[in-house]
Amino acid sequence: MQSERQLKSSAVRSIDGHVNATHSQETLLKSKVLFEPPPSGVSVKPPRHGSRLRRTTAGLALVATAASFGLAGAPAAHAEERPPFYEPPVELPTTNGELIRSEPSTYYLDPLKAIKVDADVHRLMYRTTDGNGEGIAVTGTVITPRKAWKGDGERPLISYAAGTQGIGDHCAPSRQLSNGTEYEGIFIKGLIARGYAVVMTDYEGLGTPGDHTYINREVSGNAVLDVVRAAQSLPEANLPANGPVAITGYSQGGGAAAAAAELAPEYAPELDIKGAAVGAVPSELSTVAENLDRGLYSAFLGYAIVGLAAGHDIDTDEYLNDKGRDYLTKVKQACTIEAVATLGLRDSRKLTANGEPITEYLKEPQWKAIVDEQKIGERKPEVPVLINHSRLDDVIPFKLGKELKADWCAKGATVEFKPNLGPTHIGGAIASFPRTFLWLEGVLKDKPAPSNC
C-alpha cells in the first residue's frame, strides 16, 4: 500500500491542470499563523501592512489553486440523487434545535481524500425555523477533535457559518466536507488545531428539499444558532450541554453569523455565546447587487434572486427571458468555484424580460420590501463582535463594513472593526483569519473584548 506521503505526492501530480492543488493545501496547513496556536505565553500580532500584503498575495495564489482543484469533482455530483439522510421525516420535532437524526461522517481536505482530518465527525439533521415561523429540517456537521481539551474550563464550540457554497443540494457543506471539496475546510482545520469543536450548518434548502434561501438574514441566523443546540445534544459529539460558544463566518457566512449575533438574545438566550467574529458582511443587499452585476461573481446575483424568491414564493420566470431562465437553471446546479469559473461576467440586462438590469427590479415595491428585510445592523448584538473587511474587497464593498460598525456602535454594542489590505474578496478572507483566531481565543478566555467605536 502507498504511504500517506506517496498518496499526497500522487495527488499533486494526478489531475491535469490542477497539479499543485493538494500541495497548496498542505502548505497552508503548515502555516504557523493560520493553523497552529502560538506557544504558551507568546503574543502574536498581525504583521505590518507591507509584509501582510506580500504574504496574503502568496496565500491567495495557493488558495486559488486549491479552489480550482475542487472543480474536478463538482460536475459529477450534479447527477447524484439526494442521499436518504437528507430526506426529512413527515413529522418534525416541536423544539428548535432538536436533533432529528445523525450519522458518522468524514472530513477531508482534498478531493482525492489523501488528507483526512483527525477528528470525530458527525452529520446532523435538526429542526430550525423558516422565514414564516414554521419548523423545517436542516442538516449540518459537527467536528470534535480527538485530542483532549487542554484549555481552561470546557471545550468551546464554534458555530462556523459557511460562505457561499452554491445553491444545489450537492453543494451542501456537509457533503463537501466528506468529499474533500469544501474550500473553507482548511480554515476550519485551523480551529480544530486549536482544540475547538466546530459545527457548521448547511442552511435551509442546501442538501434538503426545496431551494436554498441564500442570504436570507433571519433564516440563516436561526440555522446558525439551532445547529449549536443540536450539536450540544448529540452524545457522540462529547460536548458540554451548556458549554462556551462563539460564532464566526465570512461573506455569506459573515452575514449569517452577524444575523445570529443579532437574533440570539431573543431566539437562543440560553446559549453561552462569548462573541461573534464576522467578515465581509453583505449587510445591505442592493449595494452588493450593483457591485456583482457584470462582474466575476455575477453568478452570486443569480443565487440571491433564487434565494430571495424561494423565501417569498415568487416565480422568477416572469422577470427573465429565455436566456435568463437557462442561465438561472445553470446557476442552480453550479457550486461556487464552478459558478465563478463558468458563469461569471454576465450582464443581467441580457437576461431580463424587459432588458433592464436586475438591480432595477430590486427597486420595485415587492422586491424592495424583501431586500430591506435582509438589512443587518438594525439590531444590537449583546455579545462582543469583531468585523473584518478588506479595503480591496471586489465583492462586498468596504463601505458596508464601515457602515455596519457605525450602526452597531450607535446601538451601544462592543465592536472591533479591523480593516485589512487583502487583495480581492478571497484575499480579504485569508488576511482576516489570523486576527479572527486570536480574537476568538481572547473572548473564549473571557478577556475583555476590545472596541474601537
Q: Helix, strand, or coil here: 441?
A: helix
Q: Helix, strand, or coil here: 415?
A: strand
Q: Report the pLDDT averaged over residues 259-264.
A: 99
106 CB-contact burial (10 Å; exposed 0-12 / middle 13-18 / buried 19+): middle
Print the domain residue range for 400: 91-283+382-444
Q: Report the pLDDT averaged over residues 49-58.
A: 37
* 199 within some domain: yes
Residue 314's domain is classified under what CATH number? 1.10.260.130
Residue-wise pLDDT for 143-182, tens only, equals 999 999 999 999 999 999 999 999 999 999 999 999 999 9
The backbone region for 367, taken as left when phi is positive above 0, alpha when psi lies in -120 to 50, beta otherwise, is: alpha
* 51 within some domain: no
Cβ(235)–Cβ(107) under 8 Å? Answer: no
| CA 56 vs CA 157, 160, 318, 428: distances in Å | 28, 22, 44, 8
pLDDT band at residue 313 using 50, 70 and 90 as cut-offs:
confident
Identify whether residues 310 and 294 lie together within a single domain. yes
Strand partners, 159: 199, 247
Identify whether residues 347 and 405 lie together within a single domain. no
173 CB-contact burial (10 Å; exposed 0-12 / middle 13-18 / buried 19+): buried
Identify whether residues 333 and 260 lie together within a single domain. no
| CA 259 vs CA 62, 155, 171, 212, 265: distances in Å | 31, 24, 22, 17, 11
pLDDT at 449: 96
Identify whether residues 255 and 338 lie together within a single domain. no
Identify whether residues 345 and 303 lie together within a single domain. yes
Cβ(70)–Cβ(109) under 8 Å? Answer: no
pLDDT at 181: 95
pLDDT at 312: 87
Percentage of residues of the chain with pLDDT beyond 70: 82
Identify whether residues 390 and 244 lie together within a single domain. yes
Residue 126's domain is classified under what CATH number? 3.40.50.1820
Residues across the chain: 453
* 15 within some domain: no
Comparing CA positions, the residue from 222, 231, 53, 26 lying closest to residue 110 is: 26
Identify whether residues 223 and 278 lie together within a single domain. yes
pLDDT at 80: 62
pLDDT band at residue 72 using 50, 70 and 90 as cut-offs:
very low
Helices (H) and strands (E) counted in the chain, each on its own, are 17, 9
pLDDT at 422: 96
Comparing CA positions, the residue from 236, 353, 357 lying closest to residue 294 is: 357
Cβ(206)–Cβ(212) under 8 Å? Answer: yes
pLDDT at 19: 28
Comparing CA positions, the residue from 410, 309, 305 lying closest to residue 351 is: 305
C-alpha cell at 67: 479552489
* 17 within some domain: no
C-alpha cell at 395: 465583492
Element of type H or E holding 126: strand 119-129
Percentage of residues of the chain with pLDDT beyond 90: 80
Phi, psi of 431, deg, nearest 5? -65, -25
Comparing CA positions, the residue from 424, 437, 438 lying closest to residue 57 is: 424
Mark which of 328, 343, 372 sits at the end of a domain: 372
Residue-wise pLDDT for 382-396, tens only, equals 999 999 999 999 999
* 132 within some domain: yes
* 73 within some domain: no
Mark which of 323, 339, 372 sits at the end of a domain: 372
Identify whether residues 108 and 222 lie together within a single domain. yes
Identify whether residues 154 and 275 lie together within a single domain. yes
Domain count, the chain: 2
Identify whether residues 279 and 304 lie together within a single domain. no
* 110 within some domain: yes
The backbone region for 355, taken as left when phi is positive above 0, alpha when psi lies in -120 to 50, beta otherwise, is: left
pLDDT at 266: 98
Residue-wise pLDDT for 371-380, tens only, equals 999 999 999 9
Element of type H or E holding 443: helix 424-444
pLDDT exceeds cutoff 90 at 15: no
Identify whether residues 297 and 416 lie together within a single domain. no
Identify whether residues 166 and 259 lie together within a single domain. yes
Residue-wise pLDDT for 177-217, tens only, equals 999 999 999 999 999 999 999 999 999 999 999 999 999 99
Mark which of 316, 349, 372 sits at the end of a domain: 372
Cβ(167)–Cβ(215) under 8 Å? Answer: no
Q: Please report which residue ranges of 237-320 form alpha helices under DSSP H.
A: 252-267, 285-292, 298-310
pLDDT at 81: 76
| CA 228 vs CA 16, 89, 205, 372: distances in Å | 40, 21, 18, 28
pLDDT exceeds cutoff 90 at 9: no
* 268 within some domain: yes
